[in-house]
Structure 1
């Protein structure tokens, strides 16, 4: 299973008015090695375990395997995760023929808002909503696994 996605910073909260769905997410990492990250996530009241492989050279594609697990198991696994739990609210926004998932981080990463779009191919065209800012695809510091270890509140020149 190949995941192709692009990531962008968000320049305003206008996306909230366009969102059709909002979900609370709490996640931790059993392994943050860039070669293979293993994530435990609670999304709303549903648990997931996800394994992601190393990104390709462009940073756009990587292997992803995800399986739904019982909520109680996800809660138990969160206690085994490396330090640095990610907390965020995910907004789903339809824009033309695509869906943007906009993550508004809280906790240690408060102030950071990132939009992701999943594509069928790396060259698939899409239109940019007005609130979409600089592209950060492939920049490791914006990976959730990195944000769990080096949260946005510790960045000095990005704020």
Structure 2
């Protein structure tokens, strides 16, 4: 059992690109939710996994992550996640002795990019790079499932307002 301590930030600029040491394409699908916890499947270029994340307590929460066959991940994404699939490029960036992940979202979430750092303890001090902006760790608008639901709702509203759609006949 692992304890995940993660902090999330908006980006101020593209300065992080100069410090990139690797990149990987990820597809994350939500399989289930409970309280503020979740079950997700991840399909990366290098591996596939299933993760259960418990409700959080401050910055920390328990995380159980297990490797699964790629075919299983593809099946779960295709059959259970529905529209709640997040696609992103995850850049590995080193700064000040710490590894950061910069997630650049694609498709429905195109235009959103966030920096994350995982820590070994909640009170760990670390240098903030100049490319890091406001912290959004506790802002529910920046939780992946909420970002996806917001994007899907926005897309549905655009379809409802699109020209050429006839209004339903009055009853």
TM-score, normalising length: structure 2: 0.83
Q: Hey, what does 2:61 align to over in structure 1?
A: 62
Q: Hey, what does 2:29 align to over in structure 1?
A: 28
* Larger CA Rg, structure 1 vs 2: 2
Q: Which residues of 2 match residues 3-152 of structure 1 at below 5 A?
A: 3-56=4-57, 58=58, 60-79=59-78, 80-151=80-151
Unaligned runs of 5+ in 2: 155-171
Distance apart, 1:152 and its partner CA: 9.0
CA shift digits 1:10-68 (9 cap, x unpaired)? 12222122100000011110113343200011111411111111111x3x111111011
Structure with greater helix share of residues: 2
Per chain length, whose mean CA-contact separation is higher, i.e. which structure has more relative contact order (CA < 8 Å, sep 6+)?
1
Unaligned runs of 5+ in 1: 155-159
State whether residues 37 and 145 of structure 1, in contact with CA within 8 Å, keep that contact through their aligned partners in structure 2. no
CA shift digits 1:86-123 (9 cap, x unpaired)? 01000010111210001001111111111110111111
Distance 1:83 1:25 in 2: 15
TM-score, normalising length: structure 1: 0.89
The alignment covers a number of residue pairs equal to 152
CA shift digits 1:104-148 (9 cap, x unpaired)? 011111111111101111110000111100000121221112222
State whether residues 37 and 56 of structure 2, in contact with CA within 8 Å, keep that contact through their aligned partners in structure 1. no
Distance 2:124 2:153 in 1: 34
Distance 1:91 1:126 in 2: 19
